[in-house]
Amino acid sequence: MDSIVPNQEYLLQGSVMDSAVEVLLHRLRGLCDNVDSGPETFHDHEMCFSIRVSSLTPVQPVLLRVRRAVDYQEMPWQLRYIGQPEVGMLY
């Protein structure tokens, strides 16, 4: 049995004041396992889609995000479904 921790992705979005950048980087280093390597640079392009279904009853749209690495064109695209883990029919 492998005891490897599964990969987890966190999205941090927002603005950080210049005076708080070092504090934020210090906290992020404490959460990450690659402390010695420093921050990794990346250039991604992400598109968000909201697929709506026409229905007489209100139905939540299906939310999808598609992401690709701009700086590594040969890498595969990533498709993420955002919502409930299981979607079933309503009875």
- Number of domains forming the structure of the chain: 1
Cβ(40)–Cβ(48) under 8 Å? Answer: no
Position 91 pLDDT exceeds 70:
no
pTM of the prediction?
A: 0.50
In angstroms, rounded to a whole number, what is the distance separating the alpha carbons of residues 9 and 77? 16
In angstroms, rounded to a whole number, what is the distance separating the alpha carbons of residues 48 and 30? 30
In angstroms, rounded to a whole number, what is the distance separating the alpha carbons of residues 34 and 18? 23
The predicted-structure confidence for 27-77, as pLDDT tens digits, reads as follows: 887 877 766 776 678 899 999 999 888 878 788 888 899 999 999 999 999
Q: Is residue 57 part of a domain?
A: yes
How is residue 19 annotated by DSSP?
G
Q: Is residue 41 part of a domain?
A: yes
31: helix, coil or strand? Answer: helix
Q: 56: domain range?
A: 18-82
Q: Is residue 64 part of a domain?
A: yes
